[in-house]
Structure 1
């Protein structure tokens, strides 16, 4: 009498499902990863500007120009300072700088990924 043979490992359908999942998450990482890398450049630019302006006060136009130059050097594409930058005077003559924007990247066909980013720093004397 023959004993039933035990199955070892995954079958073809299991391997196919695993490859589909690996492909999906790889696509997701390749599409969304650059958004977060760009956000890192935005925060670095904003923190560098805050450090540069920690002892002096500039006009809103000068702050916008300095920040735009930093973003241009870092090749930031999703931030339009006219739409996404807010400058507000706060206590003690300081300035609150906020960048808030939404980045959308198409994944495939009519499916897109959306990421919201926001950062605020306070600059000026006494900070």
Structure 2
């Protein structure tokens, strides 16, 4: 009677640990753009609810957004990432941009964000 040992082999565990490590490394690299986007989203949402700011011209509103982002130590990737359109008293804030992250060697990850907010000018 020979008992057969059961369990994970050394190489099996090594492969599982390597896969888990690469997933964790990827998650840590992608975390920062999502955190920055949550801050940008919060600033834009607060602007859409601030009636004193909504009465100002669009250029001034964009300047106020940039000031609030600067205070939070975040910036938009490009000036075209946020567009504000006035359509008959309704301001539409379009937030569209992408962030490219170097992952491993020559492999990059692209994270895209696209959101729209509306606010009625009081």
- TM above 0.5, yes or no, is yes
Structure number with larger C-alpha Rg = 1
CA RMSD after TM alignment: 1.8
Q: So what's the TM-score if we normalise by structure 2? A: 0.89
For 1:111, the equivalent position in structure 2 comes to 107
Matches of 2:56 and 2:118, distance apart in 1: 13
Matches of 2:57 and 2:68, distance apart in 1: 17
Divergent runs of 4+, >4 A: none
Higher RCO by CA contacts (8 Å cutoff, separation 6 or greater): 1
For 1:89, the equivalent position in structure 2 comes to 86
Matches of 2:76 and 2:25, distance apart in 1: 20
**Mind listing any 5+ residue stretches in structure 1 that lack a counterpart?**
none
For 1:61, the equivalent position in structure 2 comes to 59
Q: So what's the TM-score if we normalise by structure 1? A: 0.86
1:3-42 aligned within 5 A: 3-42=1-40
For 2:74, the equivalent position in structure 1 comes to 76
Kept in 1, the 8 Å contact 2:99–2:112? The answer is yes
**Mind listing any 5+ residue stretches in structure 2 that lack a counterpart?**
none
Kept in 2, the 8 Å contact 1:96–1:120? The answer is yes
